[in-house]
Structure 1
Amino acid sequence: MSKGRSAPRTRSLVRRLSAAALAAAVVAPMLASCSNGYEQGVLNIYAPADGFDYIKQFAQTCSDESGGRYKLQANVLPKGADDQRLQLARRLAGNDHTLDLMAMDVVWTAEFANAGWMVPVPEDTAAEIERTNLAGPVASAMWQRPDDPSKRLYATPLWTNTQLLWYRPDLSKEMLGTRKAPTTWDRMLAETQIIRKQGGPSWIMVQAKQYEGLMVWFNSLLASAGGSVLDPNDPSKVTLNDTPAHRASTLKALQVMKAVATAPGHDPSITQSDEGTARLGMETGKAAFEINWPFVWASARTNGATGDVAFLQDVLAPYKDMLTDEENPPTDAQLAPINVKMRKRFDFALFPGVFPDKPAKSTLGGLNLAVASTSQQPELAAEAAKCMTGEQAQKVYAISGGTPPTIEAIYDDKDFKLAYPMGDDIRTQLEADHAAIRPASPQYQAISTLVTATLAPVGAWDPAQMVDDLADQVQKAIDGEGIIP
Structure 2
Amino acid sequence: MRHTTPRPRCAPRPHRALRPGALLLALALLGSLVACGSSEEEGAPVLKWYARDEAGGVFGAAISDCNEAAEGRYTIELVPLPANADEQREQLVRRLAAEDGDIDLMNMDVPWTAEFANAGWIEEWPEDRAAAVTEGRIETTVETATYDDALYGAPLNTNAQLLWYRDDLVDEVPATWDQMVDQAEALAEEGEPHIIWTQGQRYEGLVVWFVSLLASAGGSVLDESGEEVSLETEPTREALEVMRRYSRSVAAPSALATAQEDQGRQGWETGEAAFMTNYGFVWPSANQLAPDIAADMGWAQYPGVVEGEPSRVVIGGFNIGIGAYGAHQDLAFDAASCLVGEDNQIRNATDAGLLPVSEALYSDPALTEAEAAVEGEPIERDGEPVLAFPYAETIKAALDTAVLRPQTPYYNDVSLAIISILHPTADIDPDDDVERLRDAISRALDGEGLL
The TM-score with structure 2 as length reference comes to 0.87
The number of equivalent residue pairs is 413
Q: Distance in 2 between matches of 1:139 and 1:351?
A: 21
1:350 aligns with 2:352: no
Q: Distance in 2 between matches of 1:456 and 1:466?
A: 11
Which among 228, 237, 246 is matched to residue 251 of structure 1? 237
| CA-CA distance at 1:171 after TM superposition | 1.3
Q: Distance in 1 between matches of 2:410 and 2:31?
A: 25
Contact 1:224 1:354 (C-alpha < 8 Å) held by counterparts: yes
1:230 aligns with 2:199: no
| CA-CA distance at 1:139 after TM superposition | 1.1
1:367 aligns with 2:318: yes
Q: Distance in 2 between matches of 1:352 and 1:265?
A: 15
Q: Which moved more, 1:442-451 or 1:81-90?
A: 81-90
Percent sequence identity over aligned pairs:
38
| Residue equivalent to 1:462 | 429
| Residue equivalent to 1:85 | 89
Encode CA deviations 1:400-427: one digit per residue, 9 max, x unaligned: 1111111111111102002311111111
- Secondary structure, in 3 states, of the residue corresponding to 1:299? helix
Root-mean-square deviation (CA, aligned residues, Å) is 1.9
| Residue equivalent to 1:449 | 416
1:387 aligns with 2:338: yes
The TM-score with structure 1 as length reference comes to 0.81
Letter in 2 for 1:229: V
1:112 aligns with 2:135: no
| Residue equivalent to 1:239 | 230
| CA-CA distance at 1:204 after TM superposition | 1.1
- Secondary structure, in 3 states, of the residue corresponding to 1:238? coil
Encode CA deviations 1:60-112: one digit per residue, 9 max, x unaligned: 11010112111111111122222211222222233322221111111110000
In structure 2, relative to structure 1, the CA distance for the partners of 1:132 and 1:289 (3 Å cut) is: same
Which among 407, 411, 426 is matched to residue 362 of structure 2? 411
| Residue equivalent to 1:59 | 63
Which among 150, 153, 162 is matched to residue 152 of structure 1? 150
Letter in 2 for 1:153: L
Q: Distance in 2 between matches of 1:391 and 1:191?
A: 41
1:479 aligns with 2:430: no
Q: Distance in 1 between matches of 2:308 and 2:31?
A: 54
Letter in 2 for 1:235: G
Encode CA deviations 1:114-170: one digit per residue, 9 max, x unaligned: 0111111121332354331101211111101xxxxxx11110111111101011001
* 1:241-390 matched pairs, under 5 angstroms: 246-305=232-291, 311-312=292-293, 342-343=294-295, 345-390=296-341
Contact 2:195 2:250 (C-alpha < 8 Å) held by counterparts: no
| Residue equivalent to 1:139 | 143
| CA-CA distance at 1:277 after TM superposition | 1.6
| CA-CA distance at 1:276 after TM superposition | 1.7
| CA-CA distance at 1:191 after TM superposition | 0.9
1:190 aligns with 2:182: yes
In structure 2, relative to structure 1, the CA distance for the partners of 1:36 and 1:380 (3 Å cut) is: closer
Which among 27, 30, 38 is matched to residue 29 of structure 2? 27
In structure 2, relative to structure 1, the CA distance for the partners of 1:265 and 1:387 (3 Å cut) is: closer
Contact 1:205 1:267 (C-alpha < 8 Å) held by counterparts: yes
Contact 2:109 2:317 (C-alpha < 8 Å) held by counterparts: yes
Q: Which moved more, 1:81-90 or 1:44-53?
A: 44-53
| CA-CA distance at 1:202 after TM superposition | 2.1
| Residue equivalent to 2:350 | 399
Contact 1:23 1:86 (C-alpha < 8 Å) held by counterparts: no
Q: Distance in 2 between matches of 1:395 and 1:75?
A: 22
| CA-CA distance at 1:303 after TM superposition | 0.8
Encode CA deviations 1:43-63: one digit per residue, 9 max, x unaligned: 111102445832122111101
In structure 2, relative to structure 1, the CA distance for the partners of 1:440 and 1:378 (3 Å cut) is: same
| CA-CA distance at 1:22 after TM superposition | 5.4
| Residue equivalent to 1:125 | 129
In structure 2, relative to structure 1, the CA distance for the partners of 1:400 and 1:264 (3 Å cut) is: closer
In structure 2, relative to structure 1, the CA distance for the partners of 1:18 and 1:108 (3 Å cut) is: farther
- Secondary structure, in 3 states, of the residue corresponding to 1:362? coil
Q: Distance in 1 between matches of 2:244 and 2:169?
A: 25
In structure 2, relative to structure 1, the CA distance for the partners of 1:387 and 1:459 (3 Å cut) is: same
| CA-CA distance at 1:266 after TM superposition | 2.9
Contact 1:52 1:76 (C-alpha < 8 Å) held by counterparts: no
| Residue equivalent to 2:173 | 181
| Residue equivalent to 1:335 | none
Unaligned runs of 5+ in 1: 1-15, 145-150, 173-177, 241-245, 306-310, 313-341
Q: Distance in 1 between matches of 2:90 and 2:357?
A: 26
| Residue equivalent to 1:339 | none
- Higher relative contact order, structure no. (Cα contacts within 8 Å, ≥ 6 residues apart): 1
In structure 2, relative to structure 1, the CA distance for the partners of 1:266 and 1:441 (3 Å cut) is: same
Letter in 1 for 2:45: G
- Secondary structure, in 3 states, of the residue corresponding to 2:163? strand
Q: Distance in 1 between matches of 2:250 and 2:94?
A: 48
Which among 154, 159, 162 is matched to residue 160 of structure 2? 162
Which among 435, 447, 450 is matched to residue 402 of structure 2? 435
Letter in 2 for 1:427: K
- Secondary structure, in 3 states, of the residue corresponding to 1:104? strand
- Secondary structure, in 3 states, of the residue corresponding to 1:416? helix
Letter in 1 for 2:418: V
- Secondary structure, in 3 states, of the residue corresponding to 1:86? helix
- Secondary structure, in 3 states, of the residue corresponding to 1:482? coil
Letter in 2 for 1:482: G
| CA-CA distance at 1:221 after TM superposition | 0.4
